[in-house]
Structure 1
């Protein structure tokens, strides 16, 4: 997570809590479109195809929300 851009980290943390894009947008004050873009950026940056894969990798790496 340290290599993620600082603006992506709050979205990353909320993704690990299995929140929807809509709920992430509400909690962060971002638009859903921005959250969707950030989620794509996070998945691409981490090499994960899905949120589930991201969560599994985070658990294996000892990353907690």
Structure 2
């Protein structure tokens, strides 16, 4: 179901059992341009091409998938915005995806943890 809504262009998926706090957090992520998917949809056990990502690429991707913009990711990790973009581009190439939404979908589909 999550896969279907993301493919149709949804900015995320929120189960009806989500608490008001989770709903507000998801709304903030979506309004800031991010994509929200519940942690349980991403946090299974299998690995995929994520094994081929560097630790820095994983850290940047992890924050990007939480909905953080590149500028804030850079501040958080002590990187320039250009370096953040480079790490994201490299991670997307490795994962064979084009953007954050496709990366999130690929991770959720595989059940991998990042």
Residue segments in structure 2 that go unaligned for 5+ positions in a row: 1-49
- Distance in 2 (alpha carbons) for counterparts of 1:30 and 1:57: 26
Alignment RMSD: 1.3
CA deviation string 1:22-65 (max 9, x = no partner): 11111111110100111111111111011100011111112345
Is the radius of gyration larger for structure 1 or structure 2?
Answer: 2
Q: Provide the aligned length of Structure 1 versus Structure 2.
A: 65
TM-score (norm 2): 0.52
Secondary structure of 1:8's counterpart equals helix
Unaligned runs of 5+ in 1: none
Q: TM-score, normalised by structure 1?
A: 0.86
